[in-house]
Structure 1
Amino acid sequence: MTTPLFLLRCVQLGLSIRDLDLLTIGMVNDMYVESRNDEHKYAVVATQEDFDRF
């Protein structure tokens, strides 16, 4: 990942330069991936009963 791409991801997440003092590159990457997952519609969502059986 290049520096400009990293900074673009930060802007897309709404992070400021000050926020980056508290976050690692990995944390920012994880936040970006999770933000993209939020938009995905899952066909089946696990319930508590599913977790209990697991």
Structure 2
Amino acid sequence: MTTPLFMLRCVQLGISIRDLDLLTIGLINDMYIENSNDEYKYPDVAGQEDFDRF
């Protein structure tokens, strides 16, 4: 990953320069991936009955 790409991801997530002291590169990558996954619509969602059977 290049520095400009890293900084772009930080801006997309709303992370300030001051906050970068508290976060790692890996954590920011994970946050970016999870943010992208938020828009995915899962076809099957488990309900309470599924959890009870599990």
Give the TM-score range, shorter chain.
0.7 to 0.9
Q: Please, which runs of 5 or more residues in structure 2 have no aligned partner?
A: none
Identity of aligned residues (%): 77
1:2 aligns with 2:2: yes
Aligned residues: 53
Give deviations 1:3-53, integer Å, cap 9, x for gaps: 000000000000000110100000000000000000111101223443451
- The gaps in structure 1 that reach 5 residues or longer are none
TM-score scaled by length of structure 2: 0.87
The TM-score normalised by the length of structure 1 is 0.87
Tell me the C-alpha RMSD between the 2 structures. 1.2
Question: Counterparts of 2:48 and 2:7 in 1: how far apart (Å)?
Answer: 38
